[in-house]
Chains A and B, each alone.
Chain A
Amino acid sequence: MNQIPDTGTLHILNKAPGHPRFVACLAAMSNQDTLILIENAVLALPDTDTVLPRQTLALEPDLEARGLSGTAEPGQQISHQQLVQLTEQHPRIISW
Chain B
Amino acid sequence: MTTLIVIDQAPYGSWAGREALDMVFSLAAFDQPAALLFTGVGVNWLRTAQSAKGVGQKTVEKNLSAAPLFGVEKIFAEQEACERFMPDTSSRLAGIDLVASVKNLMTQYDHVVFAG
Q: Which residues of A contact B87 (CB under 8 A)?
A: 48
CB 8 Å contact bits of A34-54 with B (1 = contact, 0 = none): 000001100100111100000
Q: Which residues of B contact A72 (CB under 8 A)?
A: none
CB < 8 Å: which of B13, B47, B57 contacts A16? B13
A69 to B47, CA, bound (A): 12
Asked whether A66 and B44 contact (CB < 8 A) given A14-B13, A61-B54, the answer is: yes
* B1 touches A (CB below 8 Å): no
User: Do A43 and B10 have beta carbons less than 8 Å apart?
Assistant: yes
Q: Which residues of A contact B48 (CB under 8 A)?
A: 67
Closest to A68 in B: B47
* A interface residue count range (under 10 / 10 to 19 / 20 to 34 / 35 or more): 20 to 34
A65 to B54, CA, bound (A): 7
CB distance from B18 to the nearest CB of A (A): 13
Q: Which residues of B contact A88 (CB under 8 A)?
A: none
CB distance from B113 to the nearest CB of A (A): 20
CB < 8 Å: which of B41, B57, B86 contacts A17? B41
User: Do A47 and B13 have beta carbons less than 8 Å apart?
Assistant: no
CB 8 Å contact bits of A44-87 with B (1 = contact, 0 = none): 00111100000000001110111111000000000000000000
Closest to A62 in B: B55
* A5 touches B (CB below 8 Å): no
* A91 touches B (CB below 8 Å): no
List residues of chain A with CB under 8 Å of any chain B CB. Answer: 14, 16-18, 39-40, 43, 46-49, 60-62, 64-69
12 A-B pairs with C-beta separation under 8 A:
A16-B10, A40-B10, A40-B12, A40-B13, A43-B44, A48-B85, A49-B84, A64-B52, A65-B59, A66-B12, A67-B47, A67-B48
